[in-house]
Amino acid sequence: AQSVTQLDSQVPVFEEAPVELRCNYSSSVSVYLFWYVQYPNQGLQLLLKYLSGSTLVESINGFEAEFNKSQTSFHLRKPSVHISDTAEYFCAVSEAGGFKTIFGAGTRLFVKA
């Protein structure tokens, strides 16, 4: 069965600094990978996903994540964060041919002025 680990529960960072939120997964088969973001008092919403093809995927607001099969990782990065990026970020994994999506425990990104 698949599992996902988010290595940092909280990441404080100053505005305009780069950030990386780490995600590692475990699975014996091919996977689909997702990052969801949850802003305060809102539901989770998809930020980006990897299904196949290019291992580097991007979101419309400047985030990117790279699927690294050998490292079983899908880290989320942004070169310059804004105050508005303050939120909780969840990494999730689904096994190809399966039905479940497993979510990590979340990383709370706190952007300071």
Partner 1 sequence: EAGVVQSPRYKIIEKKQPVAFWCNPISGHNTLYWYLQNLGQGPELLIRYENEEAVDDSQLPKDRFSAERLKGVDSTLKIQPAELGDSAVYLCASSFGGGNYNEQFFGPGTRLTVL
Tell whether residue 99 is a contact of partner 1 (CB under 8 A). yes
Note whether 44 binds partner 1 by CB under 8 A: yes
Contact between residue 22 and residue 73 where contact means Cβ atoms under 8 Å apart: yes
Q: Rank residues 17 and 105 by Cβ distance to partner 1 and give the closer one.
A: 105
User: Nearest approach, Cβ of 15 to partner 1 (angstroms)?
Assistant: 25
**CA distance linking residue 73 with residue 92, whole number of Å:** 11
Please tell me whether residue 23 binds partner 1 under the rule CB under 8 A: no
With beta carbons less than 8 A apart as the criterion, state whether 72 and 44 touch: no
The number of angstroms, rounded, from the C-alpha of 97 to the middle of its chain's C-alpha atoms is: 22
Q: Which is nearest to 111 in space by CA: 12, 10, 9?
A: 12
Which region, judged by CB under 8 A, interacts with partner 1, from 11-19, 61-69, 71-79, 101-109? 101-109
CB of 80 to partner 1, least distance (A): 26
- Asked if residues 66 and 79 have their Cβ atoms less than 8 Å apart, the reply is no
Say whether residue 32 binds partner 1 (CB under 8 A): yes
Q: Which residues would be at the binding site for partner 1 (CB under 8 A)?
A: 9, 32, 36, 41-46, 49, 51, 90, 92, 94-96, 98-101, 103-106
